[in-house]
Amino acid sequence: MTGVWGLAALWLGLALAASLLSIWLRISTALSEIVVGTIAQLLIGALIGPSMLGTDESWIRFLSGIGAIVLTFLAGAELDPAVFKLKWKEAATIGLASFLLPFLVCAAGAHYLLGWDVMPSWLAGVAMSTTSVAVVYAVMIEFGFNVTDYGKTVLAACFVTDLGTVVALGLIFAPFTFKTLVFLGVGAVVFIILPWLTPRFFRRYGNRPSELETKFLLLCLLGMGALATWADSEAVLPAYLIGMVLAGTVGKDHALVRRLRTLTFGLLTPFYFIRAGSFVSLPALVAAPASFAFFLLLKMAAKVAGVLPVTRLFGSPRKEAMYTTLLMSTGLTFGTISSLYGLSHGIITQEQYSALVAAVIGSAVIPTIIANAYYLPHHLLPDLQSRLAATPGIEATLGEAE
């Protein structure tokens, strides 16, 4: 066990360094963790060996995966049903534009400009169409937008975009089988029962030191995640849907949300973001930067062309519209999942996978840095007292956002 404890200490040390870096540079912690993961893999790989960071250890993959699941659930739980009903047209239109144009443009670019075959090109379109709920939600939390109508609308648009990605991946590549029907049927039952069962269960057995609420939610998330992967889908999709249907229950329980955030941001998501950053090979990108730069620039251009006019159409000021557009240009979770799906099923080669993953991770960093540096809509930042009232326990992060 000495090696396990030592490796865990190394990863949490990297997470601590990333948190300090985010404070010093005034950037999102998620982005600093990605950068730290990339640099750590480069340095440790050069000095000791590429396997010393342990990114393929089963327990690190588990913590990384559950981090993505719980973070995606929390993002879904932040969706205010009242706000979604009021602004569903805006969220749906932005989300659809964010998915459709990058999907078609990047697929066409891969086929006609890079000479990729048809199926790898469609896979590239799927991977580049995504918006990272994980990155956007982390930014929303750090700047306090999660308590505003604006932030909740953007998160809803992210869900629409990634739903389009999952549907495209399933329709084009994953066979529709009996397993798919079972997953859809069980999912429908669970999503109907949970909003009725959860508040009653919590009222009767909750508010105890045993943290029954957290155990119940993790049971639902991991159970549906297991069913999703069994049906050749992805575990983060039912997590987002569970968060949405429980937004009126879990989302309004600030004490429970605070405890879940402590677990998620304190332990789980550093493994996810640092591991994602470790997949970027800087030497490979330096040696062959063309495909990486091509997909990154094409994705950002398609996102801007698709999303910016829509945000302006719904009356957003220029600065706010550009901030929304850049956040919708981010990618991470579903982009890497789609790329890994293509590699593991023989749809794309290792070289194509490296280019796609590097572009996906680059899109998690570059648009967000630009957005926060030049387009941060300060007029939408909630004041101190409203943030404290709506989101207890964020006092420690206020210095980064104010």
Which tens digit of pLDDT belongs to each residue from 60-98? 999 988 988 998 888 778 777 777 778 889 999 999 999
Q: Tens digits of per-residue pLDDT, 195-221?
A: 999 999 998 888 888 889 999 999 999
Q: Is residue 233 part of a domain?
A: yes
Q: Is residue 281 part of a domain?
A: yes
Distance separating alpha carbons of residues 402 and 283, to the nearest angstrom = 37
More confident residue, 86 or 10: 10
Averaged over 277-297, what is the pLDDT? 80
Phi, psi of 393 (to 5 degrees): 90, 10
Domain interval for residue 125: 57-401
- The residue whose two tokens read 């600093």 is 32
Q: Is residue 331 part of a domain?
A: yes
**From its phi and psi, is residue 310 left (phi > 0), alpha (psi between -120 and 50) or beta?**
alpha
Q: Above 60 in pLDDT, residue 388?
A: no
Q: Is residue 166 part of a domain?
A: yes
Q: Tens digits of per-residue pLDDT, 318-344?
A: 989 999 999 999 987 778 778 877 887
Average pLDDT, the chain: 85
Task: DSSP for 87-155, please give it.
Answer: HHHHHHHHHHHHHHHHHHHHHHHHHHTS---HHHHHHHHHHHT---HHHHHHHHHHHTGGGSHHHHHHH
Closest CA to 390 of 31, 207, 140: 140
The tally of domains found in the chain comes to 1
Distance separating alpha carbons of residues 123 and 339, to the nearest angstrom = 7
Q: Above 80 in pLDDT, residue 103?
A: yes
Q: Is residue 309 part of a domain?
A: yes
Highest mean pLDDT among 20-24, 141-145, 299-303, 396-400: 299-303
Q: CATH no. for residue 385?
A: 1.20.1530.20
Burial class (CB within 10 angstroms; exposed 0-12, middle 13-18, buried 19+) of 294: middle
Q: Is residue 27 part of a domain?
A: no
Q: Is residue 328 part of a domain?
A: yes
Q: Is residue 9 part of a domain?
A: no
Averaged over 282-302, what is the pLDDT? 85
Q: Above 80 in pLDDT, residue 187?
A: yes
- What is the pLDDT at residue 288? 66
- What is the pLDDT at residue 23? 85
Our CA angle for 388, 392, 393, nearest 5°, is 105
Distance separating alpha carbons of residues 25 and 68, to the nearest angstrom = 25
